[in-house]
Amino acid sequence: MSNTDKIFINMCNDILDNGVSSEDQVVRAKWEDGTEAHTIKKFCVVNRYDLSKEFPILTLRPTNLKAAIDEMLWIWQKKSNNIKDLNSHIWDSWADENGTIGKAYGYQIAQKHKYSEGEFDQIDRVIYDLKNNPYSRRIIVNMYNHNDLHAMNLYPCAYSMTFNVTGNKLNAILNQRSQDVLVANNWNVAQYAILIHMLAQVSDLEVGEFVHVIADAHIYDRHIPLVKELISRAAYEAPKLIINKNIKNFYDFKVEDFILENYQSGSQIKKIPVAI
């Protein structure tokens, strides 16, 4: 069993055993049939992954790493808010008639700001600092811009990254305000682990620790039996991540530059109901 599987199982058990239900509360989310989508949740779940020891992808069920990377590149590399630039349909329900999700995610990454060293957008500033001032304690990306929230079709869930170099290792903290654990947990973990690998490689650093902070980690009521079945499964050892080491420029990475070697997993859970 991988350490990632252990972390996921422990988190789910903690939510199921010690979480708080929203049954007596008014909730925004609804199921497709109009029924209120209630959850059981834990406040401030903190999971730590040592990227130098394993790539954090679940083996209890498969995570579509290529699709997760594609979404991550859409936000951080293409800096796009248009679903036409994405090779999946995961954002279709949030897009407007022009195909955009408003001033969210990639739009915020792309906004340029003035610094004493020049003008940078948020990701280019991170890359500049990692190469020129790696021990800075100010290497932060924040997509939760209150001035633009009214123009976002969905407020950012995973909204900030704090990067910190210790010795020659790049560490990072991902802050997430809310997460649907069954649907999104390992998707987010895997894609932001890839982002850290990318930034470390182009900055001549090694990968260190990835800390994932989730303010509201919840399991939806209709997901509870699915989660219980999932965490009772047999698990496998973590696969090995192979990255194209010839890539030295952040903007040259493609989905095809990342391969999982010996990735074994349980079967996929199909037709998961999604609350909107």
- In whole angstroms, give the CA distance from residue 110 to residue 67: 22
Share of the chain above pLDDT 70, in %: 100
According to DSSP, the residues that pair with 119 across neighbouring strands are 114
Fill in the amino acid letter for 267. Answer: S
CA 81 from chain centre, in angstroms, equals 16
Q: Is the pTM of this model over 0.85?
A: yes
Binding residues for dUMP: 137-138, 177-180, 188, 218-220
Is the per-residue pLDDT at 12 higher than 90?
yes
Note if 12 is an active site residue. no
Sign, Cα dihedral of 54, 57, 62, 66: negative
* Secondary structure class of 71 (helix, strand, coil): helix
Does residue 74 carry a pLDDT above 90? yes
Work out the average pLDDT over 37-44: 98
| Annotated binding-site ranges | 64, 137-138, 177-180, 188, 218-220, 275
Give the chain's end-to-end CA distance (angstroms, integer): 33
State the Cα–Cα distance between residues 14 and 168, nearest whole angstrom. Answer: 34
What was the pLDDT predicted at 276?
Answer: 84
Task: Give yes or no for residue 76 having a pLDDT over 90.
Answer: yes
The angle formed by the CA atoms of residues 229, 234 and 240, to the nearest 5 degrees, is 120
**Mean of per-residue pLDDT scores for the chain:** 97
Query: Tens digits of per-residue pLDDT, 175-205?
Result: 999 999 999 999 999 999 999 999 999 999 9
| Paired tokens of 137 | 């304690």
Radius of gyration of the chain (CA): 19
Catalytic residue among 60, 126, 127, 157: 157
Residue 203: both structure tokens together: 């900055």
Reported as a single tens digit per residue, the pLDDT across 198-242 is: 999 999 999 999 999 999 999 999 999 999 999 999 999 999 999
- Which CATH architecture best describes the domain 43-216+240-261? 2-Layer Sandwich (3.30)
CB 131 within 8 A of CB 101: no
Assigned token pair, 258: 């990342």
176 within 8 A of 137, measured Cβ to Cβ: no
Dig out the tokens for 252 from the structure. 């040259």
Rounded to 5 degrees, φ, ψ at 3 are -65, -30
